[in-house]
Amino acid sequence: MAATPSRIRPASRLAGWALVAAAAIALALYAGPQIIALAKTSRLHAPDLALFAAQPWVIQVHILAALAMVALGGIILSLRKGDRLHRTAGWIWTILMMITAGSSLFIVGINGDVWSLIHLLSGWTLVSLPAAIYAARKHRIEIHRRAMTGLFVGGALIAGGFAFVPGRLMWRLLFG
């Protein structure tokens, strides 16, 4: 008996949530004590624009595209799907995601002047986005929905969460 999509979907959701949980555990193990210590002494403040302006242009582009992409992604998730507004916002989101992923390829420093593991996610994103668009154009909406949701959660929310680890630039911009 062939598996139906309804039988496949819960397992893939479980795998997605397992990935989110693994990322949360990794973040807690990596920076948990630092986050707790800094959270006791740090306060959220307006972005440090002088620190932002002192960054190389590629980092400025990366941050601005990522922030716009996360905001627009949240809006898209609340929109009715398939209409002109969804498609237009989706194309803008896709361009912002491509800029974010593409610009990250020029940002090094965690491991010296070489790429780190996060660059694998950037490469995956640059391959997955066109595939997700292709799925939508071929009316394979379930594949499109899962791919775009996965890119938003994994590529924007989880990766973005790691950007706020104490000591990193985003932490310093808002808490340092």
Mean pLDDT by 10 residues, the chain (176 residues): 47 66 77 72 84 94 95 90 92 96 85 71 91 94 92 86 82 84
For residue 5, is it within any domain? no
Residue 94's pLDDT is what?
96
For residue 42, is it within any domain? no
Domain range for residue 131?
A: 48-174
Residue 16's pLDDT is what?
65
For residue 12, is it within any domain? no
For residue 41, is it within any domain? no
Nearest Cα neighbor of 60 from 176, 169, 172 is 169
166 Ramachandran zone, left/alpha/beta (phi>0; psi -120 to 50): beta
> Can you give the pTM of this predicted structure?
0.77
Q: Tally the domains of the chain.
A: 1
Residue 14's pLDDT is what?
67
